[in-house]
């Protein structure tokens, strides 16, 4: 393959190849600056040799976790409304329609039932590409319904969080989801069913202040940013420099906010062991 030979020999690409590069045939790690073919990066689960975890979408996580990539999506047609007739740079209705057209997603979370190593589980996975994975009324409702499904069928429940926090376009309707999801997780606990929370980069705002940190087991990927307000906001508020690695997964683990950090390549086997333990 021509592009592979040029990569090995260090030959500069011409204008045509630069256009191909722009379209996504190459990946440059923001941490170590290594450049690798995108196909190789994807096959490596978007984890660089230096350990940096690039973001994956929900379908990629489902493909990684669910046996044979087989799952049943729950409540696939729920869409957000615009109860406040919110307008910023554009109408909220238009933003929702444009985002759905661009991403092919109905909202910022996808819920599904499948198996991990033959263990049934319900997973609610947030979609960061849908308005920054913001938590609106549909996110709260789909989590609530997924929990009801778990309780009805006696399945463990898991949330994969990746979010900028509450969705400002829905104001109080969004903030209400913090209490709603927390109450539903309490029902899950009363039913003696386990809840696993996996936090990705980033997990911030009202999501962190509610369901993301309420797991029976709280886990994260390496280097994930996890916190309520961002580091810049906190630094400007308190007028002090923050510790190195502040709000990263390793910092939270050291201070007792996480149970463990798991490399993406080991995620399925780790969850399988956890589910087997819960089953016993």
Per-residue pLDDT at 113: 98
pTM: 0.88
Q: How far is CA 25 from CA 17, 28, 38, 48, 51, in A?
A: 10, 10, 5, 16, 21
Domains of the chain, by residue range, sit at 1-53, 55-279
If the chain, 280 residues long, is cut into consecutive pieces of 10 residues, what is the mean pLDDT of each piece?
44 37 76 95 96 96 97 96 92 96 97 98 98 97 98 98 96 96 98 98 96 97 93 86 90 96 97 92
- List the one residue out of 223, 219, 215, 213 whose CA is nearest residue 251: 223
Instruction: Quote the pLDDT of residue 261.
Output: 98
Q: 3-class secondary structure for the chain?
A: CHHHHHHHHCCCCCHHHHHHHHHHHEEECCCCCCEEEHHHHHHCCCECCCCCECCCCHHHHHHHHCHHHCEEEECCCCCCCCCCCCECCCEHHHHHHHHHHHHCCCCCEEEEEEEECCEEEEEEEECCCCHHHCECHHHHHHHHHHHHHHHHHCCCEEEEEEECCECHHHHHHHHHHHHHHHHHHHHHHHCCCCEEEEEEEEECHHHHCCHHHCCCEEEECCCCEECCCCHHHHHHHHCCCCCCCCCEHHHHHHCCCCCEECCHHHHHHHHHHHHHHHHC
Model confidence over 32-85: pLDDT tens digits?
Answer: 999 999 999 999 999 999 999 999 999 999 999 999 999 999 999 999 999 899
Pick the CATH number of 55-279 from 3.40.50.720, 3.90.226.10, 3.40.47.10, 3.90.1150.10: 3.90.226.10
Alpha-carbon distance of 111 to 146, in angstroms, equals 7
Q: What is the pLDDT of residues 164-192, one digit of tens each?
A: 999 999 999 999 999 999 999 999 999 99
pLDDT at 62: 98
In this predicted structure, what is the pLDDT of residue 15?
35
């Amino acid at each position: 393959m021509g592009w592979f030979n040029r990569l090995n020999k260090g030959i500069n690409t011409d204008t045509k190849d630069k256009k191909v590069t722009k379209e996504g045939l190459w990946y440059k790690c923001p941490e170590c600056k290594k450049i690798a073919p995108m196909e190789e990066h994807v096959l490596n689960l978007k984890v660089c040799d230096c350990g940096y975890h690039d973001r994956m979408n929900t379908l990629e996580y489902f493909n990684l976790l669910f046996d044979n990539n087989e799952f049943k999506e729950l409540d696939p047609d729920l869409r957000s409304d615009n109860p406040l007739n919110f307008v910023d740079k554009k109408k909220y209705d238009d933003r929702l329609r444009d985002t759905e057209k661009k991403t092919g997603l109905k909202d910022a979370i996808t819920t599904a039932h499948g198996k991990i190593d033959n263990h049934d589980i319900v997973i609610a996975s947030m979609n960061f590409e849908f308005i920054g994975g913001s938590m609106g009324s549909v996110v709260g409702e789909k989590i609530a319904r997924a929990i009801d499904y778990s309780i009805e069928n006696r399945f463990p429940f898991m949330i994969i969080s990746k979010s900028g926090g509450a969705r400002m376009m829905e104001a109080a309707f969004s903030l209400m989801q913090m209490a709603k999801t927390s109450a539903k997780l309490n029902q899950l606990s009363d039913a003696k069913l386990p809840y696993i929370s996996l936090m990705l980069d980033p997990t911030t705002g009202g999501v962190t202040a509610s369901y993301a940190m309420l797991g029976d087991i709280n886990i994260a990927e390496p280097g994930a940013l996890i916190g309520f307000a961002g580091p810049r906001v906190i630094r400007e508020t308190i007028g002090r420099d923050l510790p190195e690695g502040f709000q990263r997964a390793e910092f939270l683990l050291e201070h007792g906010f996480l149970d463990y950090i798991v490399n993406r390549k080991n995620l399925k086997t780790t969850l399988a062991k956890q589910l087997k333990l819960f089953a016993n």
